[in-house]
Amino acid sequence: DVTHGRILYLEDVSVSFDGFKAIDRLSLDIAPGELRCVIGPNGAGKTTMMDIITGKTRPDAGTVYFGSTIDLLRHTEPQIAELGIGRKFQKPTVYEQLTVYENLELSLRTDKGVAASMRFRIDSAQADRLAEVLHTIHLADAVTRQAGTLSHGQKQWLEIGMLLMQQPRLLLLDEPVAGMTDEETVRTAELFLSLKGRHSLMVVEHDMSFIRRISDIVTVLCDGSVLAQGTLDEVQADERVIEVYLGR
C-alpha cells in the first residue's frame, strides 16, 4: 500500500498555467482523523492544491489518492464530492431566506435546483444527525432563525454544518475564520477540535492564533511545494519560513 494508510496522499504533483509552475512536485499526506493546517504566502499554491484534490484542476503529473484505493485523478469533480470530500470556500454560501433548519435539511437534497423552499422528508437517522450537527455548529438555539439574520461567523458555522450533513471523510476549508470576531474565532476552534478524530481536515488559514489553538502539524507551502512542516513553533522558528514571510 503506497499510501501507508493515509486518507489523503499526494506525491510529486505538478501543474503549470501557461508555462508557470503553480504546483511543483508537491508531496503531502494526511492521516485519518488529522487536522492539518496549511499556510504560505500569497501565490504559494494553496488554492490550486485544493482545486487539484477536489478535481477542479487536473495536474500535469503526479499521484493523488483518497484512502489507499481511490485514485482521485480518475474521478470528476462531482464524483469526488460524492466520494466524501467536502470543500468550503472562504465566503459563506447559505440560503439567506431559509431558516437554519431548512438550510441543513436542504443540504441533504441532491436536486437543489428545484424550488429551494419545497419541503421534503428526511428519515429519522438524518433527523438525528441534523440535531447533532446543530449542537456541533453552536446553532441549536437558532434553529428557526432565518439564515440571513445570522452573524458572519454563524453563517460560516452553518455552511460547515451543511457539509457535515453529507458525512464527509475529508473536509477542505479555505480561511474559515477570516472576518470573524475574536469570540467567533475561539468558538470555531472549539468546533474544529470537536471534528478532529471523526473527520480529517485540511485548513488553509492565515490567523496564527487560530492555528495555535487547533493544529498538530502545520505545512508551509511556497512556490508550489512544501517548504517546511512541523508544529507551529517549529515552522515559525524555521529560517526559510521567516524569509518567505518577511523577505518578500
Provide the minimum distance between the beta carbon of 40 and ligand ADP in the complex, in angstroms, as a whole number.
Answer: 5
Interface positions, 15-34, toward ligand ADP (CB under 6 A): 17, 22
Give the cell for residue 202: 485540511
The grid cell for 25 is 512536485
User: 196: which DSSP letter?
Assistant: B
Closest contact distance (angstroms) between CB of 211 and ligand ADP is 15
SS3 content of the chain, % helix, strand, coil (to 5): 35, 25, 35
Query: How far apart, in whole angstroms, are the C-alpha atoms of residue 136 and residue 125?
Result: 17
Under rule CB under 6 A, residue 10 binds ligand ADP: no
CB-based contacts of 222: which residues, under 8 Å, 6+ apart? 40, 41, 44, 244
Query: CB under 6 A: which stretch of 43-51, 109-117, 187-195, 229-237 binds ligand ADP?
Result: 43-51
Interface with ligand ADP includes 48 (CB under 6 A)? yes
Q: Is 176 in the site for ligand ADP (CB under 6 A)?
A: no
Report in angstroms how near the CB of residue 25 gets to ligand ADP at its nearest: 14
Judged by beta carbon, residue 44 or residue 162, the one nearer ligand ADP is: 44
From 9, 30, 39, 45, residue interacting with ligand ADP (rule: CB under 6 A): 45
The answer to whether the beta carbons of residues 30 and 13 sit under 8 Å apart is no
Among 2, 4, 42, 144, interactor with ligand ADP by CB under 6 A = 42
Beta-sheet strands, E only, within the chain: 8-17, 20-30, 35-39, 61-66, 70-71, 85-88, 170-174, 200-204, 217-222, 225-230
Q: By C-alpha distance, which of 213, 183, 221 is closest to 196?
A: 213
Residue from 8, 26, 40, 85 in contact with ligand ADP (CB under 6 A): 40
> Is residue 89 within the footprint of ligand ADP (CB under 6 A)?
no
Using the contact rule CB under 6 A, the part of the chain among 35-43, 101-109, 159-167, 237-245 near ligand ADP is 35-43
**CB nearer to ligand ADP: pick between 22 and 195:** 22
Residues that bind ligand ADP (CB under 6 A): 17, 22, 40, 42-48
